[in-house]
Amino acid sequence: LFAYRDRNDELVPLTKKAFLGRLNEIWAAAGMKTVSGHCFRIGGTTALLKLGVDTDIVKMCGRWKSDSFLRYWR
């Protein structure tokens, strides 16, 4: 879905590991706490629910198999 250009100007797919690694480098350098990918899933779920998105759509977007995602609603 997302990509970036490496030092050789080659287009490289942006992996979850690379994305989180870079974010955590930036945040750690700024004295902020680092995060896991799970926090983005929780945040995305919360944002959709607060916007009033139907729970079946939220479930589909998060690839949830059950209604357990509702416990992440903060």
pLDDT at 74: 60
Three-class secondary structure of residue 60 per DSSP: helix
Angular region, 9: left φ>0, alpha ψ -120 to 50, beta rest: left
> Which pTM value belongs to this model?
0.62
Q: How far apart are CA 49 and CA 59, in angstroms?
A: 10
Which DSSP category does 13 fall into?
E
pLDDT truncated to tens, each residue of the chain (74 aa)?
A: 789 999 999 999 999 899 999 999 999 999 999 988 888 888 888 899 999 999 999 999 888 889 888 887 76
pLDDT at 39: 85
